[in-house]
Amino acid sequence: MVEGEEIRIGVYVCHCGINIASVVDVKKVVEEASKVPNVVVAKDYQFMCSQPGQNMIVEDIKQHNLNRVIVAACSPRMHEPTFQKAVERGGLNPYLFEMANIREHCSWVHEKEKAAATDKAIKLVKAAIAKARLLKPLKVEKVKVIPRALVIGGGIAGIRASLDIANAGFEVHLVETRPSIGGNMARLDKTFPTLDCSQCILTPLMVEVSKHPNVTLHTYTDVVGIDGSVGNFKVKLLKKPRYVDESKCTGCGTCVLKCPWTAPNEFDMGLGKRKAIYFEFPQAVPLIPVIDTGHCMYFQKGTCRACERFCPTKAIDFNQKPKEIELEVGAIILATGYGLYDVAKAMPEYGYRKYKDVITGLELERVVSATGPTKGHILRPSDGKEPKKVAIVLCVGSRDEKHLRFCCRFGCVAGIKHAYYVVSHIPDAEVYVCYRDIRTFGKGYEEFYERVRNYENVRFIRGSPMEILQDADGGIYFDVFDANTNRVVTLRPDLVVLETGIVPHPTFKEVAKVLKCAIGPDGFALELHPKLRPTETSVDGVFLAGAVQGPKDIPDTVAQAGAAASSAIALMSRGYVETVPYVSSVNEDLCSGCGICQPLCAFDAISLVKKEDGKEVAKVDVSKCKGCGVCAAACPSGAAQQLGFSDGQILEMVRTLAR
Amino acid sequence: MKFLLFLGCTTATKQYGYELSLRATLPLLGAELEYPKDMNCCGVPMKGISKFYPYYACARILAIAESQGLDVVAPCNGCHLNLTETIYKLKLNPSLMGAVNELLKEEGLKYMGKATVYHPVEVLHDKVGVEKITSAIKRKLPEIPVSSHPGCHLLRPTEFPRPEVRNGPLKLDRLIEAIGLKARDYPEKYECCGAAMIPYSPEAAIRVVALRIKRALAAGSRAITSLCPYCIDMLDGKQDAAKTITGDQNLSIPALYYTQLLGLALGLNERELGTNLNMSPVEVLLEEVKV
Amino acid sequence: MKCSSGCTAAKVVDKYRPHEIVALVKAGYSEELINSDVIWACSVCLKCVEYCPQRVSPFEVVMTLRNEAITRGITPPKSFVEMAKSIVKVGYIQEPMYIMSKEFEEVSRTELGLPEMPKPKDIEKFKQHVLSVGFERLREVV
């Protein structure tokens, strides 16, 4: 389009089937639009987004020499890109297009006031025409994508995503805050419903990812800063000191054997003990120990040094310092996983942490595990005896308006699996599963439930206890109303297992803060669209894998990890991203350099720069700008303008609407 | 520190030991108690007859306190809850406040939302303080295991703040330890005494008492203590009935007001504290505490 | 159904089930409850209010049903009637009683040196108000 050229507008009013046409008189809208100056063509059509609808636009641009196009239809969030592409096919700059939302903003909300809705639709179209006259072509920039990905979180989600990306030929940096990768899945003894040994299916993947030529593993490392945007993220990592030289250590374990000091074992959820220098678990990857300075006598009192003395390769390094690592990546995958709801604090009525024989499901996993604190024998924590009566309580904290409103999505089947653990380890034990509803939605879950339900020593009680109490003799007891028998039953189990609700892993909050990615009301990462874009976030180039997005079982986690990986691969293999041109732009002649806009920018996109003549002006880094418009609104001189939404364009729309 | 003492029905009409021990101990610790000239029931047992009545009754009590320029001490858990709830709900609901004041106006009263309500556990723990109690007592009582029974309404509902919380040590337990006794947990310490079930079924209510006493005994407690007249009325007064109904002759344990135990530590005599009015076998404990 | 698991009354009164009361009301069977004595069994321990995962208050439901029963002219358990009568008469659910001391003396406030129990100053006005806020629906009191 040439400056000063006559403005020729085409207006297209969509019926959206009957979504719009049953309320808005589309013919009348067309009639009114065609009377407006500069409108050359005005038409209505049943589905503008269809192929014939789009072709109509392409044809009309050519036939009528149109240089502006307006579609009055649904929300621009739905179909703006569709029509921009059509306009481009017609040979116009795609930003010479404007959309009037006469569905969400009109027909859907004014269903019962047809005449008024039609009036409103006409006004919205006229406002769009007013703006269209002032539209200017905008330029889309292509930015190179660094062909390297960062995966945050080394659980099954992060491992799977890393392997998929690495296998596609891209470089991956996998960051894990703990000394070993593996995550929560490494804690499990078996996985439902097939009862595969969790370690047996996980450890090969742990080894594979650590040995993959395209993968760099950063264990015992935190993400401390992320800057930049899609295609070009600058990441800062902080590698915590293990006090063991990774290049010298062979993982022989002599140091661990010789260390005389112990501490509660985090991997066993605090149930067992570990040494002050320890492997996180026997199959840890990498198999390099770490010194817990809080419990190491050398760090506490300056004596001992047994590990150093006995290490055959002289790998102990008490002077190791935290190490900063800087990386540039094109895509990021968040796979920080989940943590358990703090039942001890939030639900004191259940006595968790107060009574030793009330444990969580994850603790039972450690108890049952051959590498756990009891070497795989189910023994209760209080006296080490084999429990003959076990109660399993589902929905602890989950589906509760006062705690976590959502379903944890694996507690039911985990509880059923835990009942199976008990009866398979202790055949003469009785198990009571207290449930509110049993949700066995996954493949094979209902069949597994049926299998366990058929054990005669596993009983399902339809009801949840209100509280769990402990008698003077240490015995646990609770009352539970059973809806199936209409009786309040008193249970005196030897062991209680709480299937606790889950929350985002504590590390997620920090990462979300540095990334500025949206968090949902449940505290988990918010996906861009719950159905159509479940692995994308509000930040371009940042994808979600696993429980970071919401509670998930292993199959769903692995599936989403694959999806997140393929999103990252698609981005990197295309090699570039197109910037959205709706960004802020500063007119340097008008800018006084007052700097009001700079601290208001939530994305650090504005800086003050000195021009050659010494004048200070605001400068927008378009790669960081998200087009929120805050600077444009705050600018006292009108120097900052948001492209595609300039003051002149918006005010012209307002004037038209007010007429 | 001066409060208007609003006794409520149970304390004023039969739980005289509570009133005696409150009047004997609190002033010694600097908490003066003034007796109201005009008073009425808080309405808690009448919620089922009229949900509105308790608001009127409590606003009336608070209006009287305001007219005397004093905050209220309500020694009964039920009264304390109802008064607190009235303050909370009337603040949220101006039309309810208006309706209540409409009635009070005819009695020459006005509730302005100024008076604060305290429970003795708050006066002792928060206002007087454990340290002051420790230094004020004449002697430490022997380390006898005693179970606290705070009572439902000191803990619930948590919609608005209550004097005690379930998550964490009880103020009442700290007070027990402050005078030398040992606070002994028993599993049902956060439970109900059953008092409000008496009108429906005395037998059912007494079965509740039996459950509590059984557990406290099993926990090795040598006494139960509370600061609620309903709880002590049940736990102290219904032990014989509990024995008869359950046939369990072991359901016997001294049950006293904490203020009675506190009074003993402050060197007061049994008559001043009304321990001769307790129906449970308090003598055994008193004998031991004397030494 | 946490409420029925922990309910004080449910442990000693078999037919009292708070979750069932709420479910019956939701399903339109309030009439049945209003005419039943079961609604008078609640021990007012408020555990149901506290621990309901759905933020329902069975306690409030029960109190509403009790109020409704009174409105319909249904007589509540005798003690409630006696307490209501006493409130109208003296401002309290009962008058000071004589109790037996360990020394087998019959004592009340005077014998113990306690001052007279303060009553509503204008008892007639108080009575009028108590009746107007709902007690007048109780036949036995009027």
Size of interface B-C (CB pairs under 8 A): 189
C55 chain-A contacts, CB cut-off 8 A: 401-402
Whether residue A473 and residue B166 make contact (CB cut-off 8 A), yes or no, is no
CATH number at residue A589: 3.30.70.20
**Based on the domain organization, do A126 and A274 belong to the same domain?**
no
Whether residue B191 and residue C8 make contact (CB cut-off 8 A), yes or no, is yes
CA distances (Å), A521 to each of A17, A253, A346, B152, C129, in order? 35, 45, 18, 33, 48
Chain C contact for B150, CB < 8 A?
no
Whether A140 is in a domain gets the answer no
pLDDT bracket for residue B290 (50, 70, 90): confident
Percent of chain C with pLDDT over 70: 100
pLDDT bracket for residue A472 (50, 70, 90): confident
Instruction: Measure CB to CB from residue A349 to each of B166, B186, B218 and give the nearest one.
Output: B166
Evaluate whether B266 touches B28 at the Cβ level (below 8 Å).
yes
Number of independent structural domains in chain A: 5
Instruction: Measure CB to CB from residue A466 to each of C51, C54, C55 and give the nearest one.
Output: C51
C1 chain-A contacts, CB cut-off 8 A: 436, 462-464, 481, 483
Q: Choosing among A352, A467, A468, which should be mutated to test the B contact, i.e. which has the most B CBs within 10 A? A: A467
Phi, psi (rounded to 5 degrees) for A75: -70, 140
Whether A391 is in a domain gets the answer yes
Tell me the per-residue pLDDT of B69-81, one tens digit each, with 9 for 90 and over.
999 999 999 999 9
Whether residue C117 and residue B12 make contact (CB cut-off 8 A), yes or no, is yes
Per-residue pLDDT of chain C (142 residues; tens, 9 = 90+): 999 999 999 999 999 999 999 999 999 999 999 999 999 999 999 999 999 999 999 999 999 999 999 999 999 999 999 999 999 999 999 999 999 999 999 999 999 999 999 999 999 999 999 999 999 999 888 7
Query: C-alpha angle A366/A368/A370, rounded to 5°?
Result: 85
Whether A205 is in a domain gets the answer yes
**Based on the domain organization, do A466 and A354 belong to the same domain?**
yes
**Edge-to-edge, what's the strand order for the sheet holding A9-14?**
A39-45, A9-14, A68-73, A97-101
**Based on the domain organization, do A232 and A263 belong to the same domain?**
no
Whether A655 is in a domain gets the answer no
- Rounded to an integer, what is the distance from CA B197 to the centroid of its chain? 18
Query: C-alpha angle A375/A380/A383, rounded to 5°?
Result: 105
Question: Residues near C98 by Cβ (< 8 Å), separated by ≥ 6?
Answer: C106, C107, C108
C142 chain-B contacts, CB cut-off 8 A: none
H helices of A175-284, in order, are 198-211, 254-258
A479 CA to chain C: closest CA distance, Å? 6
Whether residue C6 and residue A403 make contact (CB cut-off 8 A), yes or no, is no
Tell me the per-residue pLDDT of A77-132, one tens digit each, with 9 for 90 and over.
889 999 999 999 999 999 999 999 999 999 999 999 999 999 999 999 999 999 99
pLDDT at A1 over 70: no
Q: List all residues of chain B from 110 to 149 with a beta carbon under 8 Å from chain C.
A: none
> DSSP string covering A131-189, please?
HHHT-----PPEEEPPSEEEEE--SHHHHHHHHHHHHTT-EEEEE-SSSSS-GGGGG-S
A435 chain-C contacts, CB cut-off 8 A: none
- Domain range for A162 is 148-240+322-337+505-576
pLDDT at B262 over 60: yes
Task: Compute chain A's Rg from CA coordinates.
Answer: 31
**Based on the domain organization, do A495 and A515 belong to the same domain?**
no
Position A150, amino acid? L
Three-class DSSP category at B124: helix
Taking residues A185-196, report their average pLDDT. 96
**Based on the domain organization, do A217 and A260 belong to the same domain?**
no
For residues B145 and A641, what is the distance between their CA atoms, to the nearest angstrom? 75
Q: List all residues of chain C from 15 to 34 with a beta carbon under 8 Å from chain A.
A: 17, 19
Chain C contact for B107, CB < 8 A?
yes
Tell me the per-residue pLDDT of B84-135, one tens digit each, with 9 for 90 and over.
999 999 999 999 999 999 999 999 999 999 999 999 999 999 999 999 999 9
Whether residue C93 and residue B53 make contact (CB cut-off 8 A), yes or no, is no
Evaluate whether C119 touches C62 at the Cβ level (below 8 Å).
no
Whether residue B50 and residue C70 make contact (CB cut-off 8 A), yes or no, is yes
For residues B223 and B141, what is the distance between their CA atoms, to the nearest angstrom? 13
pLDDT bracket for residue A538 (50, 70, 90): confident
pLDDT at B184 over 60: yes
Q: Choosing among C65, C75, C130, C136, which should be mutated to test the B contact, i.e. which has the most B CBs within 10 A? A: C130
Evaluate whether B265 touches B137 at the Cβ level (below 8 Å).
yes
Instruction: Measure CB to CB from residue B103 to each of C77, C95, C129 and give the nearest one.
Output: C129
- Rounded to an integer, what is the distance from CA B77 to the centroid of its chain? 5
The pLDDT of residue A623 is 76
The pLDDT of residue C130 is 96
Query: Where is the domain boundary, A133, A166, A191?
Result: A133
Percent of chain A with pLDDT over 70: 100
Q: Please name the residue of chain C whose CA is at the shortest distance from the CA of residue A393.
A: C2
H helices of B49-113, in order, are 53-67, 77-92, 94-106
Whether residue A345 and residue B167 make contact (CB cut-off 8 A), yes or no, is yes
Whether residue B166 and residue A477 make contact (CB cut-off 8 A), yes or no, is no
Tell me the per-residue pLDDT of A404-433, one tens digit each, with 9 for 90 and over.
999 999 999 999 999 999 999 999 999 999
CATH number at residue A106: 3.40.50
Whether A488 is in a domain gets the answer yes
Phi, psi (rounded to 5 degrees) for A493: -75, 155
Taking residues B162-184, report their average pLDDT. 95
**Based on the domain organization, do A98 and A157 belong to the same domain?**
no
Only one residue has tokens 């809806």, namely A483
pLDDT bracket for residue A3 (50, 70, 90): low
Tell me the per-residue pLDDT of A41-50, one tens digit each, with 9 for 90 and over.
999 999 999 9
Q: Choosing among B158, B159, B167, B189, which should be mutated to test the A contact, i.e. which has the most A CBs within 10 A? A: B167
**Based on the domain organization, do A330 and A384 belong to the same domain?**
no
End-to-end CA distance of chain B: 33
CATH number at residue A536: 3.50.50.60
B199 chain-C contacts, CB cut-off 8 A: 40, 76-80, 83
Whether A2 is in a domain gets the answer no
Beta bridge partners of A481: A488
Query: C-alpha angle A34/A39/A42, rounded to 5°?
Result: 50
Whether A361 is in a domain gets the answer yes
**Based on the domain organization, do A512 and A493 belong to the same domain?**
no
Q: Please name the residue of chain C whose CA is at the shortest distance from the CA of residue A437.
A: C1
Tell me the per-residue pLDDT of A561-574, one tens digit each, with 9 for 90 and over.
999 999 999 999 99
Whether residue C17 and residue A399 make contact (CB cut-off 8 A), yes or no, is no
**Based on the domain organization, do A262 and A292 belong to the same domain?**
yes
For residues B106 and A306, what is the distance between their CA atoms, to the nearest angstrom? 86
Q: Choosing among A393, A434, A481, A498, which should be mutated to test the C contact, i.e. which has the most C CBs within 10 A? A: A481
Whether residue B156 and residue C66 make contact (CB cut-off 8 A), yes or no, is no
Three-class DSSP category at A223: strand
Question: Residues near A319 by Cβ (< 8 Å), separated by ≥ 6?
Answer: none
Taking residues A67-74, report their average pLDDT. 97
Only one residue has tokens 């029905």, namely B9
Whether residue B218 and residue A349 make contact (CB cut-off 8 A), yes or no, is no
Q: Please name the residue of chain C whose CA is at the shortest distance from the CA of residue A487.
A: C14
C47 chain-A contacts, CB cut-off 8 A: 466
CB-facing half-sphere around the CA of A475: CA atoms within 13 A: 13
B52 chain-C contacts, CB cut-off 8 A: 133-134
pTM, entire model: 0.89
Q: Which two tokens stand for residue B180?
A: 């030398």
pLDDT bracket for residue B291 (50, 70, 90): low
Whether A164 is in a domain gets the answer yes
For residues A292 and A280, what is the distance between their CA atoms, to the nearest angstrom? 11
Chain C contact for B287, CB < 8 A?
no
Taking residues B258-280, report their average pLDDT. 96
**Edge-to-edge, what's the strand order for the sheet holding A469-470?**
A469-470, A476-482, A487-491
Structural domains in chain B, sorted by start: 2-118 (1.20.1050.140), 131-290 (3.40.50.11810)
Secondary element (H or E) of residue C126: helix C123-132
Chain C contact for B232, CB < 8 A?
no
Strand bridging mode A148-152 / A171-175: parallel
Whether residue B38 and residue C118 make contact (CB cut-off 8 A), yes or no, is yes
Neighbours of chain C (3+ CB pairs under 8 A): A, B
